[in-house]
Structure 1
Amino acid sequence: MTVSSYHVIGMACGHCAGFVTEQIEQIPGVTDVAVDVEGDTATVTSDRPLDIAEVRAAVEEAGYELP
């Protein structure tokens, strides 16, 4: 199991967190996503190491950015 945290730019509310969560959950191997809007972070648990490009693509699909 791998746990990684990512800084997400542009989130402002619970709906934002929901969009980011939905997109990241679609990445194969992801088992849990915890988004903290106040801290601008997404903590992702997966059963394999994730490629940053996969996470970036999911976050961008939700309408936000990884720096």
Structure 2
Amino acid sequence: MSVKTYTVQGMTCGHCVSSVKEEVGELAGVTGVEVDLASGRLDVVGEGVTDDAVRLAVQEAGYEIVA
């Protein structure tokens, strides 16, 4: 298992966190998702999960990953 960390821009509430967790959690290979609203930190646990797939899932939830 590996953990990848991203910063998500635009989250302002608990619903935002839930949306990101749900979309990213549905990706193949993801076994865990943690989101910290205050810092915008997104930790994705799993195998074979690409950065592009995570980026698209976050966009699908209505938010953006920043560098």
TM-score category by the smaller chain?
Answer: over 0.9
Residue 61 of structure 1: aligned partner? 60
CA distance in structure 2 between the partners assigned to 1:41 and 1:49 by the alignment: 20
Counterpart of 2:3 in structure 1 is 3
- SS of 1:53's equivalent in the other structure is helix
What is the percentage of aligned positions where both structures have the same residue? 42
Alpha-carbon distance in structure 2 between the residues aligned to 1:50 and 1:26: 11
- The amino acid across from 1:41 in the alignment is R
Structure 2 matches for 1:1-67, cutoff 5 A? 1-46=1-46, 48-67=47-66
Cα deviation, residue 49, structure 1: 3.7
The answer to which structure has the higher strand fraction is 2
**Letter paired with 2:59:** E
Deviations 1:8-63 (A, max 9, x none): 000011100000000000110100101000011111110x1421110000000000
**Unaligned 5+ runs, structure 1:** none
TM-score, normalised to structure 1, is 0.94
- TM-score norm. by structure 2 comes to 0.94
User: Which aligned segments of 4 or more residues in structure 1 are displaced greater than 2 angstroms?
Assistant: none
